[in-house]
Amino acid sequence: MINRYHKYLEIIDYKLKKMFEEQAPFIKCKIGCSYCCKEGEYPLSELEFVDLMLYYNELDGNIRGAINENISRLLESKRQKFYECPFLIKGVCSVYPARPIICRTFGLISIRENGLNKMPFCVDLGLNYANAADTETSTIVKCAPDGTMPVAYNIDRKFLRSHEMEATFNIFFGKDKAMVDWLKEEF
C-alpha cells in the first residue's frame, strides 16, 4: 500500500507544484521560514504516519536523535494542543519527502466545505497573500502587479483524503489523529 500511496503523493505534489507556481506572486514560503511548523496540531492519517515513520527510520542517527529529543520534550510538555513540529530541526523539515498532506498544502488559499475561502495564517505575518489581502477581513482585495489573481483551490484535507481518492488509488488512509497522539502510541 505504501507504494500506491507514494504514487498518489507524486500526483498530488505535481498538481500542488503547479498551484504554487501559479500563485508565485503571493507566496513567500522558503527554506527556513517554518512559521507553519512552529504552532499547530498537525493532523495526519494512519497511512501518513506510517509513511512518516518509515522515512524517519531511514534517517541518519544524529537527526533521529534530535527528533527524539524534540518528541520527548513534546510528550513531557503540558502544551499538547498547539506545539512545534518535532520533526523541525534548525528551521528545516527533517522528513520533508514524507511530510503529511496538511504540510504539503499549507500556504495556499483553500476552499472550505462551506464554500468560503480559508487564508493561511501567515497572511497575518505579512507573508503569503499579504500583498493581496485585507488582513482585517481575510479577503482578497487586489491582484499582483502582473495581473495575477489569487486563487482558492480545492485542497482541503477532507477532499484529498476522501473515499473517492482512496478508491482511485486503492489506498486506505485509516484513522485521523493529531501528530502528538500518534507519537504517544509510538514512543
Domain extents for the chain?
Answer: 2-166
Provide the residue-wise pLDDT of the chain in tens; the chain has 187 residues.
899 999 999 999 999 999 999 999 999 998 888 999 999 999 999 999 999 999 999 999 999 999 999 999 999 987 778 999 999 999 999 999 999 999 999 999 998 777 778 889 899 899 999 988 887 777 788 888 888 889 999 998 888 999 999 999 999 999 999 999 999 998 8
Question: Is the Cβ–Cβ distance between 144 and 132 less than 8 Å?
Answer: yes
CA angle 81, 84, 90 (to 5 degrees): 175
Residues in the chain: 187
Question: Is the Cβ–Cβ distance between 112 and 159 less than 8 Å?
Answer: no
pTM for the full predicted model: 0.91
